[in-house]
Structure 1
Amino acid sequence: MKIAFFSSRQYDIDIFNALNEQYQHKLEFFEPELDDKYAVLAKGFDAVCIFVNDGLNASIIAQLADYGIKAIFLRCTGYNNVDLEAARKNNILVYRVSYYSPYSVAEYAMTLILALNRKVYKSYNRIKRGNFELEGLMGFDLHKKTVGVIGTGKIGKVFTDILRGFGCRILAYDLFQNEDCLRSGVTYTDLNQLFAESDIISLHCPLTPENRHIINEDAIALMKQDVMIINTSRGQLINTKDIIDGLKSGKIGSLAIDVYEEEAELFFKNLSDKIIQDDIFARLLTFPNVLISGHQAFFTKNALDDIGHATLQNANAAAEGRTNENSL
């Protein structure tokens, strides 16, 4: 197939060109996100390949259909950014990457917990200035702390395994209980109990209309004083304005996010010489107990190889007009 890649970065080009020697599709890479302005770049291609912040609404999908696009490939697991009904109406096949290294995101979530708890980022900046004081750097033992895990799919399951190594008590919430988690001693409960008893809450669920802003003012009111919140899933799981209120009041003791609900205007870009116009994001940056990274939890060589192979295998299926385990 002739595939137009959008939201492409050099690492995408390097990984996909190397792997494509095995698959022999025709790949072309574009830096812009796929939107109304840049959809025209898809003319002359059989398929488009997109990432998390490419928003394919009904209007854009109709444009793609007019250009002869037969398939949409997502380089990610989540698919909340694609109007699947519109794709079906326009006879466009949609595929995602249903599996890539779950260790990448799970290990990164634990990295955020440790860095936030032990103030590694503060210590690093102090040492560079010649300040070796320990005041303000005190953390706590993770051993015997209660960690609430929302979402126990592949990533959530690996994350619970990591937590067990630290001796944590693990509460979990998921619409579908994972038998492996149950066997390993994870306790499933409702959200109210999870919010009320957890010292740390980590999000590992896909974004759906039902769980949008699952972390909101009401949820925060139920949480322990000084709760730590971690989000490596989707930004819109958290109501950022409510989080800021929780940080200001001291109810939320610390926050680490690798995703942000308005990240499309910020992440995967170099804005170091620009003034950030998002006042809510700018407010988050002012808190000393907030750690933010730019959607890098997935970013390991293992995960990118998995994503590349799955995407190009999806292209094989689309070229033959068939569905597979990644079809939506």
Structure 2
Amino acid sequence: MSSVIVDKVKTIKTLNNIAESGLNVFNKDAFTIDNDSENPDAIVVRSFNMHSLEFGDNLKAIARAGAGVNNIPVDKCTEQGIVVFNTPGANANAVKEMVLTTLMASSRNLFAGVAWTKTLEGEGDQIPKLVEAGKKAFVGKEIKGKTLGVIGLGAIGALVANDALDLEMDVIGFDPFISVDTAWNLSRNVQRAMTLEQLFANSDYITVHVPLTDDTRGMFNKETFSIMKPDVHILNFSRGELVNETDMAVALESGKVGCYITDFPNENVIGMKNTVSIPHLGASTRESEENCAIMAARQVKEFLETGNIKNSVNFPNTSLPYTGKRRVAAFHQNVPNMVGQITQALSSYHLNIADMVNRSRGEYAYTMIDIDNKINGDVIPGLLEKICNIDGIVTVRVI
């Protein structure tokens, strides 16, 4: 059901501990942080599971201080005209450093070696001799000259690929949906794989940086393992469900996969041979948490104050320079003549259009219109209700 929203002082609610540097983005004269609010203007969240929550009719935006939005009911939000933001790239350096750290550590058998050394506790003066005798079991290999396959060349994947080249690795990348911005930042020395099969067949190490979708779920499986080189190392800092764990266990036992590094431990994975289970530390740095919080807050603030959208996962990125004129912002179904009906409603009140923008994404669209006339008060009585009554309007507000 469509709704009318008139902006006043905005209320922000957080569902996790959000870095203070992020909350400071919301200036106190226009925003209030109220974590007890039952109907805030916006919610900033990290990992809190929101799928069972009911949303008030005042909620306009949810910002995830991170990249993944699996904890947010995105489809439900879209139907209610709630913009869902994420913060792509804000934690990219943190994840990149973890990928490269574990890449080198696994190649040198560092994890197994350190664990074995701890078993020598209590051996006293014999420890040096035992170390010299036992270290041959942990002989590793250097990454220089080896081939790294990078699946997904977004913010994280591009950083990993570029730095791996600096470590004198050969790098193959696969991403059929690479953005123009990423392409500009990616080294020309990254070889392009035309298919995943090509990357699988030629990589000594594989790192994956793609979202979990119906197409990517279980992409590492018996069939794809059969294409890979023996003793391949696989690094998963994206989503645990990208890997068929039953097939992975078999591949590890046979030596087809030499090492599996995952940031998503569970009962199955922890017991697997030659697996390094990391307690979801990929983006867990002070710097990353602050970067994500600041980016999320800035996107919410910009949207609430101007209507502009950047880094939304469910509505189109839309920008119109804000000049202080009254702005009508409407989410609506992506069907013919919606813009015409909205402008007709404005015309019926003798309002001139100073500027406008319309963007669509799938079944929904977003229209912003700046009004040239001088308007006293919040709105012209009846205008928003008239627009709201147009069939296909989801929400409409005046800024």
The amino acid across from 2:33 in the alignment is L
Greater strand fraction, Structure 1 or Structure 2: 2
Alpha-carbon spacing, 1:159–1:134, altered in 2? closer, same or farther (3 Å): same
In 1, the alpha carbon distance for the partners of 2:259 and 2:189 equals 28
Aligned residue for 2:186, secondary structure, equals: helix
AA at the equivalent of 1:232: F
Separation of aligned partners in 2, 1:94 and 1:125: 43
User: Structure 2: how far apart are the matches of 1:26 and 1:158?
Assistant: 37
Q: Which residue matches 2:241? A: 236
Question: Which of 199, 202, 206 is 1:201 aligned to?
Answer: 206
CA distance in 2, matches of 1:106, 1:300: 12
Match of 2:271?
286
Offset, 1:321: 6.2
Amino acid at match of 1:170: V
Cα gap change, 1:127/1:224 in structure 2, threshold over 3 Å: closer, same or farther? same
Q: Kindly provide the amino acid, as one letter, of the partner of residue 55 in structure 2.
A: L
Letter in 1 for 2:298: Q
Which of 2, 26, 37 is the equivalent residue of 2:11?
2
TM-score when scaled to structure 2?
0.65
The residue that corresponds to 1:303 in the other structure is: 288
Letter in structure 2 aligned against 1:167: E
Question: Is the Cα contact below 8 Å between 1:99 and 1:306 reproduced in 2?
Answer: no
1:96 is matched with 86
> Residues 50-98 of structure 1: CA distance to partner in whole angstroms, max 9, x if unpaired?
3346253xxx46x2146x4332111112334434332122122221113
What residue in structure 1 maps to residue 148 of structure 2?
147
Distance 1:233 1:182, change over 3 A: same
Provide TM-score, normalisation by structure 1.
0.78
Taking the aligned partners of 1:180 and 1:43, their CA distance within structure 2 comes to 43
Whether the 8 Å CA contact 2:94–2:285 is kept in 1: the answer is yes
**Distance (Å, rounded) in 2 between the aligned partners of 1:312 and 1:180:** 25
87-96 or 149-158, which deviates more: 87-96
1:119 positional shift: 2.0
Q: Distance in 1 between matches of 2:168 and 2:232?
A: 18
After the TM superposition, which residues 137-286 of structure 1 pair with which residues of structure 2 at under 5 Å, given as runs? 137-177=138-178, 178-181=183-186, 183-259=188-264, 281-286=266-271
Structure 1 residue 54 corresponds to structure 2 residue 49: yes
CA separation in 2, counterparts of 1:120 and 1:53? 34
Structure-2 change in CA distance of 1:253 and 1:28 (3 Å): farther
3-state DSSP of counterpart to 2:55: helix
What is the letter of the counterpart of residue 255 of structure 1?
Answer: Y
Compared with structure 1, are the counterparts of its residues 138 and 96 closer, same or farther at alpha carbon in structure 2 (3 Å cutoff)? same
- Rounded to whole Å, the distance in 2 between the matches of 1:238 and 1:42 is 39
> Structure 2: how far apart are the matches of 1:49 and 1:152?
27
Return closer, same or farther for 1:22/1:81 CA change in 2, 3 Å cut-off: closer
> Gaps (5+ residues) in structure 1?
30-40, 261-280
User: In 1, distance between residues paired with 2:250 and 2:37?
Assistant: 43
How far, CA to CA, are the matches of 1:180 and 1:99 in structure 2? 13
Structure 1 residues 131-154: Cα deviation after superposition (integer angstroms, max 9, x where no partner): 522032111111111111101112
Which range is displaced more, 312-321 or 147-156? 312-321
Inter-partner Cα distance in structure 1 for 2:219 and 2:201? 14
Work out which of the two has the higher radius of gyration on C-alpha atoms and give 1 or 2: 2
Question: Whole-Å Cα distance in 1 between the matches of residues 105 and 307 of structure 2?
Answer: 45
Instruction: Report the counterpart of residue 34 of structure 1 in structure 2.
Output: none
Q: 1:21 aligns with which of 5, 21, 24?
A: 24
Determine helix, strand or coil for the equivalent of 1:219: helix
Match of 2:64?
Answer: 74
Q: Give the superposition deviation at 1:199.
A: 0.9
Decide whether the 8 Å contact of 1:258 with 1:294 is kept in 2: yes
Distance 1:91 1:46, change over 3 A: same
Determine the structure 2 residue equivalent to 1:264. Answer: none
Q: 1:118 to 1:27 in 2, by over 3 A?
A: farther
SS at match of 1:172: strand
C-alpha offsets along residues 148-177 of structure 1, whole Å, 9 cap, x if unaligned? 110111211110112112211111111135
CA distance in 1, matches of 2:292, 2:76: 25
Change beyond 3 A, Cα 1:197–1:89: same
Other-structure match for 1:118: 108
| Structure 2 residue matching 1:183: 3-state secondary structure | coil
Contact 1:42 1:64 in 2 (8 A): no
The alignment status of 1:87 with 2:87, answered yes or no, reads no
- 164 and 122 in structure 1: CA distance in 2 versus 1, 3 angstrom threshold: same
Q: 2 CA distance for matches of 1:93 and 1:284?
A: 35
Helix, strand or coil at the partner of 2:149: strand
Of residues 97, 117, 124 in structure 2, which corresponds to 1:127? 117
